[in-house]
């Protein structure tokens, strides 16, 4: 499963590609550039990009056709659900970050640091 805050490089690349799909840069049903071309654009090793693409294939975002390459799924409901799931993760991370700050700082004159 994709996680928004995953620190692994290949997951970050997968999230970047997914964002491009959500924003219409790569449209449903359209072919993606080759692994080598995507790796070159991102400035990473092709093996790292291959792992990112595999993550998206596992999520059914990309469909691999052995002779012609990878295509963005035409299942727009899946893309919409995945987008909403990621937005929920972002919202939860944001709320967790905000709540990690102690709100009793207003009484700073009573605290010793």
End-to-end CA distance of the chain: 42
For 53-67, how does the pLDDT look when each residue is reduced to its tens digit (9 = 90+)?
A: 999 999 999 999 989
Give the single-character DSSP code of 79.
H
Give the pTM: 0.79
Distances in Å between the Cα of 29 and the Cα atoms of 7, 14, 76 are 29, 18, 10
Tell me how far the alpha carbon of residue 38 is from its chain's centroid: 15
Contact 38, 54 (CB under 8 A): no
pLDDT tier at 113, thresholds 50, 70, 90 = low
Q: Tell whether the model's pLDDT for residue 102 goes beyond 80.
A: no
Tell me how far the alpha carbon of residue 76 is from its chain's centroid: 17
The predicted pLDDT at position 27 comes to 97
For 16-40, how does the pLDDT look when each residue is reduced to its tens digit (9 = 90+)?
A: 999 999 999 999 999 999 999 999 9
Q: Tell whether the model's pLDDT for residue 77 goes beyond 80.
A: yes
């Amino acid at each position: 499963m994709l996680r928004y805050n995953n620190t692994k490089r290949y997951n970050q690349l997968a999230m970047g590609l997914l964002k491009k799909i959500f924003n219409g840069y790569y449209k449903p049903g359209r072919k993606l550039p080759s692994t080598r071309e995507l790796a070159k654009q991102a400035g990473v090793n092709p093996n790292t990009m291959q792992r990112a693409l595999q993550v998206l294939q596992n999520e059914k975002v990309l469909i691999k056709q052995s002779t012609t390459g990878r295509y963005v799924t035409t299942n727009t409901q899946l893309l919409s659900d995945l987008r909403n799931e990621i937005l929920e993760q972002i919202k939860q991370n944001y709320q967790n970050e905000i709540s990690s700050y102690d709100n009793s700082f207003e009484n700073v004159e009573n605290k010793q640091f």
